[in-house]
Amino acid sequence: MTYPVKGQCQCGSVSFLLKAPPKMVIACHCKECQKLSTSAFSITCIVDAEAIEISGELKETSRVAESGNVNLGKFCPNCGNRIYQINPEAPEVIKFKAAGGLDNTSMIVPTTHVWTSEKQSWVIIPPDVQQFTKQR
């Protein structure tokens, strides 16, 4: 895998450039991520803020997580694709949500599954992958 890797949201209004491999790839099975992804779980790539460039207009939403942390989400105002999330207390860490929009997605292999206590029963997690019943 060579970096940087380009990508864009579904409509192309927001583009991004991932300049380094994710530090971690997480599959989250919590009910909020099921709503966000409209699927059984969402994928999050943890990256340093300086490892990603994002261009285009973004809108934001926020919610308070069970931990008490603020989860600030940025999304494309045209197609609605979630691009990333941050905790405003730790803006140096980007929770990149739009990895499916990268031109090459081969690095998007979850190394950790969180909130498995809320996962869909039909989802099978490989036994050698780290799992947490709640947030890590």
Give the helix ranges, DSSP H, for the chain.
Answer: 31-37
Please compute the mean of the pLDDT values over residues 69-78 and round it to a whole number: 90
- Give the pLDDT band (50/70/90) at residue 67: confident
Q: Is residue 135 part of a domain?
A: no
- How much of the chain exceeds pLDDT 70, in percent? 99
> Whole domain around residue 27: which residue ranges?
5-116
Q: Is residue 122 part of a domain?
A: no
- Say how many domains are in the chain: 1
Give me the pLDDT at residue 33, please.
83
Q: Residue 11 belongs to a domain with what CATH number?
A: 2.170.150.70
- Give 7's contacts (C-beta < 8 A, 6+ positions apart): 15, 16, 17, 18, 98, 99, 101, 102, 103
pLDDT reading at 68 higher than 70? yes
Q: What is the pLDDT of residues 94-122, one digit of tens each?
A: 999 999 999 999 999 999 999 999 999 99
Q: Is residue 56 part of a domain?
A: yes
